[in-house]
Amino acid sequence: MPDNAVSGTSHTLRSHGATLARTHMHDWLILILLGVIEIILNVIEPFHRFVGEGMMTDLKFPLKSNTIPFWAVPIIAILIPLAFFLIFYLFRRDVYDLHHALLGLLFSMLITGVITDSIKDAVGRPRPNFFWRCFPDGKAVFDSITGDVRCNGDRSVIKEGYKSFPSGHTSWSFAGLCFLSWYLAGKIGLFDTRGHVAKLCLVFVPLLVACLVGISRVDDYWHHWTDVFTGALIGSVIASICYLQFFPFPHHKNGWGPHAYFKMLLESRVAPARANTLTDRATDDGNAYV
């Protein structure tokens, strides 16, 4: 990974942070909008899919607590990648890398969240532990005409029971940790043709953690395996798109840095060259009248 000496100067938060923030102000505003949409999607009532008595066989698993609680997901998917971003920033003092890594990560998380929760609300698939959410006393009651459930449990618990597909824990974990895997692959030169297996193992660690988060959702009976698989697919695809929006492919010769960094270097070299060209032309024009 080349040093910042290539550009002749370092680009720190103090020297270039404000300029970058202004340049990408619209991106940060879109992030805020996505955050508002995500909040709304979590507030509205999901579709209550028909659940008949004959369907309860697959929805009668125990109502357990989460192995990985909701508050732990942002730590796993956001703070852990952010820690790596900061480590590389302290090493290289390149605010372009820090800014675009953070921006890409947040876009990955929020776009994944909006897609996941939109599908959750629209599909309304019951969780494997839906029976005990609906009937905490164990006494099932069904409508005599429609045959649909007539729940008597806590309203918020029942509402959450209709949000099985896809898995939010899994999609968020893959959105953050798959992005981190891409980031590490670029920083350590995974595809440098030297064949270092240790680099490959390092890149796979975040993906393994994301997989274990998904497996815990099935083990806790909060999700069907198809929920977890779909969540992993959504998170991985969005993370890949968001990473490649800001960074080259890791196998590229410039795969260690963001597009914006190399664009800035190019512009900083072109500007003096243009100025010199204009000066030379002005001098030539002046000499023509002598």
d(CA 282, CA 286): 6
Contact 64/221 with Cβ under 8 angstroms?
yes
Which residues lie across from 149 on neighbouring strands? 142
Active site residue 169: yes
Q: 168: closest CA among 131, 242, 105, 222?
A: 222
Nearest by Cα to 171 from 251, 73, 243, 100 = 73
Instruction: Classify residue 202 by burial, with Cβ atoms within 10 Å: 0-12, 13-18, 19+.
Output: middle
Q: Which helix (H) or strand (E) holds 171?
A: helix 168-187
**Catalytic: which of 99, 223, 224, 251?**
223
Could you say which of 16, 99, 100, 169 is catalytic? 169
3-class secondary-structure state, position 190: coil
- Please confirm, yes or no, whether 26 is among the known catalytic residues: no
* Residues recognised as catalytic: 169, 223
